[in-house]
C-alpha cells in the first residue's frame, strides 16, 4: 500500500513515517537575491555619511573644549552653512526635476514654514542655553563621556538609512487595500480616489520607520546636550547645540533626498563629509584621525565585501513542510 499525504484516511504507517520521496521537492535559495559588491557599496554610503557626521561633530566639540575653535566662528559657520545649504539643495533638486514647476505655491508655503521653524529653534536654543550649560554640573566628566558614547551608538544604530517614501516598501500597493470595482466613475472621482490611495499608502509605509528615526535623532541631540554642558561659555554651548540640530535633525532628511536624486551626488557628498571628518580630527589628534579613517573605510569597503563573501553560505530551504501561502493579489480578467 502506498503512503498518501492525507489525514482523513487510515493508513498502516506510523505517525512519524517519512516517505522516500519526501525530499524530492526540496528547493534551496529560491527567493535569495544575490547582491553585487557595487550595489552594496552604494547602499553603504548613507551609513558612511552618518558615521562621518558623528565623527565631525565630536571633532568640533574637542576643538571647542580645548579652546582651539572660536564659538563665534562656529556660530556664523552654522548660519551661513544652513542658508547656503538650503539654497544649494533647492537649486540641485530643482535642476534634477524633483520639484515640479506646477507646485510653486506649495514650495513657497513650505519655505515660509521652514524659515519660521528655523527662527523658533534658534530662539528656543538661545533661551535654553543657560539651562543646558548647568545641566550636568554635578556629573563627572567620565560619566559624560560614557553616556555620550552610548547615545551616539544608539543614534548610529537606529538611524534610518533608507531612501524614505513609498519606494522603500517591499509590498505591492495592492497588498494594502482590497480590490474594489467602480463601474462608472468620473475622472474627478478617479483622481480623488487615486490620490487618497497614494496618501494612505504613503502613511502606511512611512509610519513604521518613523519611530526609529525619531529615537535616533533624540539620542544624538541628547548626546550633544550632555557634551555641550562641559563647555566653558554660553556661546559655545549655543553654537554646539545648533550644530547638532543642523547635523542630526536636518541632515537625515537631506541625505534621503540625495539618495533619491542622484548616485553621483550621493557619492560626492559622502566623500566631502568623510574628508571633512578626517581632516577636522587630524587637528585634534593624528591617531584619532587614523582611527576615523580606518572606521569609515571599514564601513564603506570591507563590510560590503564581507557580505558578498558570506552570501555563499546562504542556505534557505523550502519544501513540502512549509505552510501554504495564499495569493491575495490575483489579477482580475
What confidence tens digit (pLDDT) does each residue in 15-30 have? 888 887 777 777 777 7
Residue 196 has pLDDT above 80, yes or no: no
Hey, CA dihedral for 236, 227, 78, 106, is it positive or negative? negative
- Measured in residues, the chain has a length of 333
Q: What is the mean pLDDT of the chain?
A: 79
Residue 139, SS3 per DSSP = coil
How far is 271 from 281, CA to CA, in rounded Å?
A: 15
Q: Which residue has the higher pLDDT, 101 or 89?
A: 89
> C-alpha cell of 282?
587630524
Count CA atoms closer than 13 A to 302's CA, side-chain side. 7
pLDDT at residue 102 in the model: 47
pLDDT digits (tens, 9 = 90+) for 260-318: 777 888 899 899 999 999 999 999 889 999 999 999 999 999 999 999 998 888 877 77
- Positive or negative, the CA dihedral 213, 215, 219, 225 is positive
Furthest-apart CA atoms within the chain: distance in Å: 90
The predicted pLDDT at position 330 comes to 60
Predicted confidence at residue 98, as pLDDT, reads 57
Listed range (3-17, 65-79, 196-210) with the worst mean pLDDT: 196-210
Give the 3-state secondary structure of residue 28.
strand
Domain boundaries, the chain: 45-96+106-165+200-306
| Separation of CA 247 from chain center | 13
Cell of 42: 552604494
Question: If we measure between CA atoms, which residue out of 207, 229, 202 comes closest to residue 128?
Answer: 229
| Chain segment 148-164, per-residue pLDDT in tens | 999 999 999 998 887 65
Where do we find the cell 514650495?
A: 107
Q: State how far Cα 309 lies from the chain centre.
A: 25
Amino acid at each position: 500500500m502506498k503512503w498518501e499525504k492525507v489525514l482523513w484516511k487510515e493508513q498502516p504507517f506510523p505517525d512519524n513515517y517519512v516517505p522516500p520521496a519526501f525530499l524530492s521537492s526540496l528547493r534551496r535559495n529560491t527567493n535569495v537575491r544575490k547582491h553585487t559588491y557595487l550595489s552594496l557599496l552604494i547602499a553603504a554610503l548613507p551609513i558612511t555619511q552618518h558615521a562621518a557626521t558623528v565623527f565631525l561633530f565630536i571633532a568640533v566639540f574637542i576643538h571647542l573644549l580645548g579652546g582651539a575653535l572660536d564659538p563665534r566662528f562656529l556660530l556664523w559657520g552654522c548660519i551661513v552653512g544652513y542658508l547656503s545649504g538650503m539654497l544649494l539643495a533647492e537649486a540641485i533638486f530643482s535642476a534634477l526635476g524633483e520639484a515640479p514647476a506646477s507646485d510653486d505655491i506649495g514650495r513657497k508655503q513650505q519655505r515660509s514654514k521652514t524659515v519660521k521653524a528655523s527662527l523658533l529653534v534658534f530662539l528656543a536654543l538661545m533661551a535654553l542655553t543657560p539651562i543646558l550649560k548647568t545641566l550636568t554640573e554635578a556629573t563627572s566628566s567620565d560619566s559624560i563621556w560614557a553616556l555620550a558614547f552610548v547615545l551616539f551608538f544608539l543614534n548610529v544604530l537606529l538611524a534610518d538609512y533608507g531612501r524614505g517614501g513609498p519606494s522603500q516598501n517591499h509590498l505591492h500597493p495592492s497588498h494594502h487595500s482590497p480590490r474594489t470595482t467602480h463601474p462608472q466613475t468620473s475622472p474627478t472621482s478617479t483622481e480623488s480616489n487615486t490620490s487618497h490611495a497614494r496618501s494612505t499608502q504613503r502613511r502606511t509605509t512611512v509610519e513604521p520607520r518613523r519611530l526609529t528615526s525619531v529615537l535616533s535623532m533624540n539620542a544624538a541631540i541628547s548626546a550633544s546636550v550632555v557634551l555641550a554642558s562641559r563647555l566653558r561659555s554660553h556661546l559655545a554651548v549655543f553654537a554646539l547645540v545648533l550644530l547638532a540640530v543642523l547635523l542630526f535633525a536636518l541632515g537625515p532628511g537631506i541625505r534621503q533626498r540625495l539618495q533619491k536624486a542622484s548616485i553621483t551626488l550621493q557619492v560626492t557628498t559622502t566623500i566631502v563629509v568623510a574628508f571633512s571628518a578626517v581632516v577636522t580630527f587630524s587637528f585634534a589628534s593624528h591617531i584619532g584621525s587614523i582611527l576615523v579613517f580606518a572606521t569609515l573605510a571599514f564601513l564603506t569597503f570591507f563590510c560590503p565585501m564581507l557580505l558578498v563573501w558570506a552570501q555563499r553560505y546562504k542556505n534557505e530551504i523550502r519544501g513540502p513542510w512549509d505552510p501554504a501561502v495564499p495569493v491575495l493579489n490575483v489579477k482580475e480578467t
